[in-house]
A and B are shown apart, each in its own frame.
Chain A
Amino acid sequence: MRVKSVDLKKVGFDEREVDRSGSYMQVDSEVVKCGVKEPGVYVIPTKKAIECDEYRKYLWKALKEDPSLGDFSNGYFIITEPGKKAIFPVQTCLLIEDSNIQHVHNIIVVEEDSELTVVTGCSSVPRKGTHIGVSEFYVKKRGKLHFMMIHMWGEEVEVYPRTGVIVEEGATYVSDYVCFKPGAKIKAYPTIYVDRGGTVVVNSMVMVSETSNIDLGTRVYLKGKGARAEIVSRSVSFGGVSITRGHLVAEVPGVKGHLECKGLILKDGSIVSAIPELEARTRDVDLTHEAAVGKISEEEIEYLMARGFTPEEAQSIIVRGFLNVDVVNLPESLKEEIDKFLELTTEGI
């Protein structure tokens, strides 16, 4: 494999493929790994997949086609068989090594009554580069997709993902997003459409560095009775700019949504904005939001100091809790990495 100096474990990628049902890895524009171990799950490079009409129909259906993006190099196409409940997650990894622009188009299709977890890690070697990731996810009736994305970018990398998700009747989409060592600039606003009885849970935790400008949001259209959505975003800024947005749209009666944007400023010079938006287009909907930005309370630090922790340790415990590190089901190796990162970045604050 031609991966240079990126520790793949940190982005959740296990090269030995232990406890994985399939793997896909792309370095720049080249597919270096693509295969499955578990029957009923298929992982195919997108370029190859769309040669087949049955698969081609998923291209630009969850997102509006945007010719201005130009042609994509490749990406992963993952599909399950109806009823298939994958035991292990599929892991994917998109790396930038030498190229200036990496443009991928990813598609995940979870068929009716099927369940799948996808762990995806994106990282880069060079200091410069642009990553454009177009993703379209389809969770069909009563299906379940758990999508976990870990971003660990070089300091000057710019990232512009486009994501569209269609959640059908009774289906569930859970997204956990972790971004530490963010690139210089990330701008993303995934849109999720939820049909009758569908459930969407979106968690994101972002650690913003001094040089970064991160603008992240999630928009959910609740389109069918009984559809529910919960969006929780937490960002900690060590000096950069962080904007967290959320937009819930209730289109029919009997839907429920909650939006929570919380930001913590650890260093002066940071700008943190939380912009929640609720939009009801009918009666009998239940939309709520909670937004808060601020600093760590002195009382909490003192409470922890009285338990024997130094001010730095106390801060790290509080930030870790704030980011829900233990609540979201992250791989252990990643938790350790976040701890190390927090220890380093909270020193001397």
Chain B
Amino acid sequence: MPEIITANHLIGGDVVFLAENGWTPNVDRATVAEDEATRAALEARAAEAEAMNIVVAPYAVEVRREGSRIVPVHYREVMRTRGPTVRPDLGHQASLGAS
């Protein structure tokens, strides 16, 4: 199963995803590891970012591709990409217009 790396930003606490050029709030820009080598490389970068106090508690999340979208498999992780389902005006869904 393809995976991405997620974490929380240290200073702001907001949910972020590891992308080519650093950390992004937009899950669709996350780098997807389709194989073990890519996953290991992503994990190494995440550990480095954690050691540099950029993010907190990074971990891997299983995802699937839906066209240009990247969608986590587990509903908990879907919510983390968006924000509270009861407050669509808050979280990434508000700033990124995620549906």
Note whether A and B form a binding pair.
Answer: no
- B: which residues have CB within 8 A of A? none
* Chain A residues near B (Cβ < 8 Å): none
